[in-house]
């Protein structure tokens, strides 16, 4: 089995498709391959996801009711989105492919397709992205939703306002931020040498979600990964976004 690269282990994919069956099958397949996956059923839901989360690749179906994938893509590109986009379509004529690429698509696949081919194409897009955005050019501060967390100082700000954290909450968030995109087992979130039941971490996570999530009951950033622990979906701030 091919090992995941460091880029792939932290890659977050957005799947946008109005077909529930295809969306769920594709999301499940990518999760089994080690990716973090969010999904959206239409253009409006995709926009909401993009406002709150940063993604490494978008898999976008073209033929959706209402605002179709190409119209959504054109709008996103005109507003400065640079995230790689892999287009999916049942249309296989050259003119449709060209239209998709001209709209801002980075790749184009025709349905039905082999999941393994999709995986290869996604890895290719991630590889290109990795060359363009080296981690060394990024700071340690992490952004998620309306929050910015600095692991070095332990400072959390939400919409610019300082958020009070207990010492336990600060250490848990620091551990999650340092492993952003990768599940962290409950045991690893306990203080060193602690004999507490790992389930006590669930209480701390619930409190943290109330402080960082828009809807704590349906968290987008601080998620539970069944059987593995918790993961923080956050992205490093680019150097140019740093405050002086």
Q: For every one of its 244 residues, what pLDDT tens digit does the chain have, with 9 covering 90 and above?
A: 444 444 444 688 999 999 999 999 998 888 888 888 899 999 999 999 888 888 889 999 999 999 999 999 999 998 888 889 999 998 888 888 889 988 999 999 998 888 888 988 898 888 776 533 333 334 478 899 899 998 888 899 998 889 998 988 999 999 999 888 888 899 989 887 778 888 899 999 999 999 999 999 999 999 998 888 999 998 887 543 444 3
The Cα–Cα gap between 153 and 143 comes to: 15
The Cα-based distances of 98 to 104, 148, 212 in angstroms read 10, 40, 42
**Residue 166 neighbours by CB under 8 Å, 6+ apart:** 207
Q: Are residues 33 and 143 in the same domain?
A: no
For residue 124, the model assigns a pLDDT of 84
Q: Are residues 113 and 145 in the same domain?
A: no
For residue 207, the model assigns a pLDDT of 94
Q: At which of 132, 157, 188 does a domain end?
A: 132
- Written as six digits, the tokens of 96 are 């449709």
The Cα–Cα gap between 86 and 120 comes to: 12
Torsion of CA 23, 24, 28, 31, to 10 degrees: 50
Q: Are residues 120 and 159 in the same domain?
A: no
For residue 129, the model assigns a pLDDT of 63
Q: Is 19 exposed, middle or buried (0-12, 13-18, 19+ CB in 10 A)?
A: middle
**Can you name the residues that pair with 88 across neighbouring β-strands?**
61, 109
Q: Is 4 exposed, middle or buried (0-12, 13-18, 19+ CB in 10 A)?
A: middle
pTM of the model: 0.56
Q: Are residues 210 and 102 in the same domain?
A: no
Q: At which of 91, 116, 132 does a domain end?
A: 132
For residue 132, the model assigns a pLDDT of 36
233 within some domain:
yes
């Amino acid at each position: 089995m091919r090992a995941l690269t460091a880029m792939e282990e932290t890659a977050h994919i957005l799947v946008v498709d109005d077909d529930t069956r295809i969306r769920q099958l594709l999301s499940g397949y990518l999760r089994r391959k080690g990716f973090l996956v969010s999904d959206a059923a239409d253009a409006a839901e995709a926009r909401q996801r993009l406002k709150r989360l940063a993604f490494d690749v978008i898999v976008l179906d073209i033929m959706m009711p209402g605002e179709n994938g190409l119209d959504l893509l054109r709008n996103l590109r005109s507003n400065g989105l640079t995230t790689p986009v892999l287009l999916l379509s049942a249309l296989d004529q050259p003119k449709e492919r060209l239209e998709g690429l001209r709209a801002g698509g980075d790749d184009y696949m025709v349905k039905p397709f082999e999941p393994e081919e999709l995986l290869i194409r996604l890895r290719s897009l991630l590889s290109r992205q990795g060359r363009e955005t080296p981690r060394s050019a990024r700071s340690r501060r992490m952004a998620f939703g309306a929050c910015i967390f600095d692991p070095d100082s332990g400072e959390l700000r939400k919409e610019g306002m300082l958020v009070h954290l207990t010492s336990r909450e600060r250490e848990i968030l620091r551990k999650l931020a340092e492993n952003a995109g990768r599940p962290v087992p409950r045991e690893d979130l306990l203080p060193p040498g602690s004999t507490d039941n790992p389930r006590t971490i669930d209480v701390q996570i619930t409190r943290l979600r109330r402080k960082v999530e828009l809807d704590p009951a349906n968290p987008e950033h601080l998620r539970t990964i069944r059987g593995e622990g918790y993961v923080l979906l956050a992205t490093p701030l680019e150097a140019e976004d740093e405050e002086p």
